[in-house]
Structure 1
Amino acid sequence: MAITSDVQELFDRYDMILSDKSIDNLPHAKKHRTYAVTNFRGGIGKTTLSFNLAYAMCKNYMTLFLDVCPQQNFTSLFSNNFLENDITIYDALMQKMMGSAWSADLSKLSKRVQDTNSEFKDGKTCYYIPGSSRLFLYPSQFYSRLNEYLGLTSSGNGEKPVRVLLHMLKSIIEEQIEETKVEKVLIDTSPFFAGGTHLAWAAADALIIPVRVDEQSIYSLELTLQMLKDETSDFNVWRTRAGIEEKPVVQAILMTHCGWNRQADHQIDQASRMYIERAYEIAEKYSDIFATNNIIDHFALLSDFHSSGRISGSKGIPIDKLSEGRQYRIENKKVEVNKSVNRYKKELAYAFRLINE
C-alpha cells in the first residue's frame, strides 16, 4: 500500500521533532477547556498517557483532573493513600441524580494534587476528583433514571429532565471550576461507553483518542468515531432526545506503542506504519467530526514506553521527570530508565502541543 503524502508529512514531521527542529503554527491549535481521553479498548496504557498529559497541563495551567473509570488507576497515580470511603465522583453524580436522598459532603470533592503527589509541586495548583469502583454499578442506575425521565416527559415539554441528567457531570465540572478557579479539565474514561464515559462525552469540548498500533485498536477507533458521528448511536440518540445541540470534536488521535527502525534514526518501523496509515484512512471517513479539516495534523506518534512507562504508571512519576540510567524497584525487581526516555519526552511534548497550542 502506497503511503499518502499526508501520512508521509506526519513521518517527516517526526524526523523534525526528534531532531529538535522547531514546528510552528500548528493549524489545528484551537484551545478547548474540557478534554476526555477515550477509546473503546483497554490495556493500551491510556491512563499512563492521561497521567503524563496531566503533568504537562499542570506545568502550564491550573487544571482539574477527573477519574470516571471504575478501575481508579488515574486516581491511584495522584494518591497512594486514597480510601474507598473518601468522597468521589460517584457520590457527586448520585447526589445530582438522587437529590437529598443521597447524602455526601461535596465540599471535599476536589483534592489538591500537590498535597498527594509531590512530583507535581513544580506546577500550577491543580486538583483531582477521585474515581470509585462503584462506577461499575452506575450504568444501570443511570439508564434506568434516563428512561424513567423520558417516559414521564414524553408528552410535554419533554427533554429538560433528560438534559439535566446527561449534563450531570458537566454541571459538577462547572461548579468545581467556580470553586477552584482552574483553567482546564482532563477526564480519564473507561473503555466502556455506558455511564461515566457517556457523561464525559456530554461534558467534553474535545476528545483525545489513544490508538495502539494493533488490529483491535484500529477496530475500536472506528467504533469510537462512529459513535460520535452516527445519529443513530446511543450517544446521539440520547443527545437528540435531550435537545442538546453541541457535541465534542476530535482534537487528537495519539498512536501509541509505535516501533522505530533501529537501522534508521527517527524512522517508524514497517508494521507501525501500516497501522498508522489505516488509522488515517479511517479518520478521513469521519473528517467532519474533527476540530479542523486537516486531519493529519491531529495525529501524534508515541513509542512503546517500555521501562519508563512502567515506572511512570507504577510510581506516579511523570516520564518528563525520569532520568536516563536511574533505577527503581517495582514488584521486587530493579527497573532502569533507558536512553529512549529522551525520545519519549519529545513525543509527549508534541502530543501536549497538539492539544493545547
Structure 2
Amino acid sequence: MDLSTLQIPVQKTTDSQLANVDFSNLPFGKVNTDHMFICTFKDGSWQDPKVVPYQAISLDPSAKVFHYGQTIFEGMKAYKDSKGGVWLFRPEENQKRLNISAKRLAIPEVPKDIFMEGLKTLVETDHEWIPRTEGSSLYIRPFIFASGRGFHASPADEYTFIIACSPSGSYFAGKVGVRIEETYSRAANGGVGYAKAGGNYAGQFYPTQLAVADGYQQVIWTDDNAHEYIEEAGAMNIFVRIGDTLLTSPTSDRILDGVTRKSILKLAEAENIPTEVRKISVQELLEAQKNGALKEMFGSGTAAVISPISSFGYKGQRYELPQLEESYAAHFKKRITDIQYNRAEDPFDWRYPVK
C-alpha cells in the first residue's frame, strides 16, 4: 500500500440520523454521527482502511481485549468557525501519542497516513454534524483494541482501529470540587500511566465514586509511594497558581503528556507568564492556601479544555479557593478556544484545516 497517495474509500449511509438530533441540547458523547472509520491489523500489517456507516461490531468471546485489556484511545475535537470552515487542533500530537500508547501495550503502531487520512476523511464526511453552538464541538474518539482470538496470555494477532465521532456540548458545567486522594493511586512508576490505556480509566472510577459520595466531583491523584505530591485531576492534567506563578507536575511514567497541557505551557511562555514544571507537594498546597498565596487550580484536557477547581478536600477538611476576576484559567481557555474556533491568529500553527 502506497501511503503517500492513500485514498480512503467512503461508504455513505442510506439512513442518516442527522435530522433527529437536537443540537441545542447535546449531552457529552452520547450521540454518534452517521459514519465511522475502521481499519484492521492482520497478517502483520494494517489494511483495508475505510469509512463506513456507524454500526455495531461483532467480536468472538475469546477476543483478547476482553481478557487482557489491550485497548487504547485518544480524544480530539473538530470545530466549525463562523464561515463554516472545519478545523482540528494539533491532531499530529494525538497521532504520536496513540502510537506511544500502542508501543507500551504491545499493539502495532498505526502509520501516520492511515491515522491522518482516515481522520480527515471521516470529519469531511460528517462535517454537517459539527455543532456551531458556543462551547460545542465534534468530539472524536480514535481507539484500538485486540480483536484477535485466544485465551493465551499474549499479544493478539489481530487488532481493530476505529475512529468514531459524537457532537457534544460542554463536558463540565461550572467549577468543580476535588478531593486529594490519600489511599488509591492512578498509576505507578514503570507502569502505563503515561499511556491512554482503557484500564487506567477503569481503575479511577471506584475512588472517584467515593469522592462523589463525599460531596466532591473529582479526585486529585497523588504519587503511588507516599501520596505526598499531586499529579493529575481526575482524567486531566493539573495546574496550580501560587502568586503569579503557574505550576504543573512534570510528565513521567505516571502522568499523561496532555496536548492541552503543552498548549498552555507554550502560551504562558509566549506571554511571559512565569511557569514551573516540577513536583507540587500537598503540604506546599496547604501552606499556600493558608497564607493566601494559592490563587487558583484547574484541570486541563481535550474534553473540557480547562476546568476551574473551586475547592479541594484533604483529611476531612474542605478548602475554598478565591474567586478571581482575571484568572489564568479563564484567560487560557479563551486563548485556546479562540484558536480552535478560528477566531484569533494561530502563531503556533496548531490549527489543521479539514474543509
Higher strand fraction (1 or 2): 2
TM-score by length of 2: 0.26
The structure with the largest helix share of the pair is 1
* Structure number with higher relative contact order (C-alpha < 8 Å, ≥ 6 residues apart): 1
